[in-house]
Amino acid sequence: MIQLPLSKLSDVGTTIFSQMTQLAQEHEAINLSQGFPDFMSDPELLGHAEHFIKKGFNQYAPMGGMMNLKEEIAGKIETSHQAVYHPESEITITAGGTQAIFTTIAAFVKKDDEVIIFEPAYDCYEPTVELFGGIVKRFEMKAPEYEIDWNTVKGLISEKTRMIILNNPNNPSGKILKEHDLQELTGIVKGTSILILSDEVYENIVFDGKQHLSICRYPELKERSLMVASFGKLFHVTGWKIGYCAAPKNLTDEFRKVHQFNVFSVNAPLQLALAEYMKNPDHYLYLNGFFQEKRDFLRKGLANTPFELLDCEGTYFQALKYDKISDKNDFDFARELTVTHKVASVPFSSFYKNKKNEHVIRLCFAKKEETLEQALEHLSKL
């Protein structure tokens, strides 16, 4: 066998989402682990996709993305957040949120640069920073509130801090940033050259009349931020793998230097389909109410079980504390839940470097009512 050099990611295995989905399939469990809808996307959008493929738009898209899609995105951002991005020079279409995150980190993080993340943190941030020689500094948010203590964050800042990665609404906790969080952050970065990578892929899934406070609403933050979003979450097409990054021109220029060699450009006919479909904002403005109904259905069904329901302000994930049911660690508990009770979840410790175990698991409720009903039936036996 060939002798390999030292692994660049020696601590990294297969993502928890792939692991749990595979376990769910092996044990024929209801898969509430990996976050994806089990219902169809709108036939109108699918029709647009078919139309543009058949019309022959099957060659490379421009490197930064199709102009009409970028224009629709700029319009959406301006209407939602009163922030202006130039479609040509400040918006780039990516192969999903993950590629936008990877490319941002690759473009800006150099060896020994420090990057601050907030745990529980989506799983791709840390390995990507590590891959480019960066050093991760983490602030641990704790169950059940998952609040950020900005004084502690301030203590993590040094002259080596290159980037802060935010995830708002937060996957997996379901928490959203509040006005005071963004004010504190503004104070912390003022006068520095720290960049912000703001992962906002669940921006249109926020509940109870609360508002998603995008980074781009704050001019002092916008000028240093790369904002990432995803059509997978917006239109129930996670398999299309299309998202985008919006950032001021000087940051976009650097982003694209990497993007062009990373994917070059993204699926052309599907970009055209998305642009056509986006013309009607009702196609995404209903999402808050749509997913709130699903969240409430799941929460109501779980209210009579020993699970403790943590707050869910946004995303399509519900966090559950299970310490009244088991003292197993969350990985073993999630495994047992899949194998014995036929419901797959994601253990929260996967989102902490030190595998912090607070007896919390995550369930995805982007599912048909009948799927949630079946899962509730199994879970009510616990």
* Bridge partners of residue 139, in order along the sequence: 118
Rounded Cα gap, residues 237 and 290, in angstroms: 16
Position 35 contacts ligand GLN (CB under 6 A): yes
Residue 85 or 125: which CB sits closer to ligand GLN?
125
**What string marks each residue from 64 to 103 as x (binds ligand GLN by CB under 6 A) or -?**
----------------------------------------
**Shortest Å distance, C-beta 229 to ligand GLN:** 13
Nearest CB to ligand GLN, comparing residues 15 and 305: 15
Distance of CA 242 to the CA centre of its chain: 13
| Contact string 129-168 vs ligand GLN (x = CB under 6 A) | ----------------------------------------
Interface residues for ligand GLN in 11-30 (CB under 6 A)?
A: 15, 17
CB of 362 to ligand GLN, least distance (A): 8
Specify the DSSP class assigned to residue 311: P
**Nearest to 364, CA basis, from 343, 349, 378:** 343
Structure-block tokens of residue 276: 């056509």
**What is the closest distance, in whole angstroms, from the C-beta atom of residue 232 to ligand GLN in the complex?**
8
Closer Cβ to ligand GLN, 12 or 84, answer by number: 12
Beta carbon of residue 33, minimum distance to ligand GLN (angstroms, whole number): 7
Instruction: List the interface residues with ligand GLN, window 165-224 (CB under 6 A).
Output: 171
CB of 148 to ligand GLN, least distance (A): 20
Cα-Cα end-to-end distance for the chain: 48
Q: By CB under 6 A, how many residues form the interface with ligand GLN?
A: 5
Helix 287-302 / helix 369-379 crossing angle, nearest 10 deg: 20
Q: How far is the CB of 346 from ligand GLN (least distance, A)?
A: 7
| Separation of alpha carbons 236 and 105, rounded Å | 26
Neighbours of 59 (CB within 10 A): 8
Buried/exposed code over 121-154 (b: 16+ C-beta within 10 A; e: otherwise): bbbbbbbbbbebebebbbbbbebeebebebeebe
CB closer to ligand GLN out of 19 and 161: 19
Nearer to ligand GLN, 15 or 374 (CB): 15
**Beta carbon nearer to ligand GLN, 35 or 347:** 35
Identify whether 144 is preceded by a cis peptide bond (ω within 30 of 0): yes
Interaction between residue 265 and ligand GLN (CB under 6 A)? no
Peptide bond connecting 169 to the previous residue in cis, omega within 30 degrees of 0? yes
- DSSP string for 201-269: TTTT-B-TT-----GGGSHHHHTTEEEEEEHHHHHT-GGG--EEEE--HHHHHHHHHHHHHHTSS--HH
The residue (of 17 and 150) whose beta carbon lies closer to ligand GLN is 17
Q: Least Å distance between CB 344 and ligand GLN?
A: 11
137 vs 233 by CB, closer to ligand GLN:
233
**CA 142 – CA 175 distance, rounded (Å):** 12
Nearest distance from C-beta of residue 17 to ligand GLN, angstroms? 3
Does 34 bind ligand GLN (CB under 6 A)? Our answer is yes
Between residues 52 and 202, which has the closer beta carbon with respect to ligand GLN?
A: 202
Q: Which residue is nearest to ligand GLN, using beta carbons? A: 35
Find the shortest distance in angstroms from Cβ 208 to ligand GLN: 22
H or E segment to which residue 336 belongs: helix 330-339
| Beta carbons of 32 and 237 less than 8 angstroms apart | no
Instruction: Tell me whether strands 91-94 and 243-246 are parallel, antiparallel or unpaired.
Output: antiparallel
Q: Where along the sequence are the contacts to ligand GLN (CB under 6 A)?
A: 15, 17, 34-35, 171
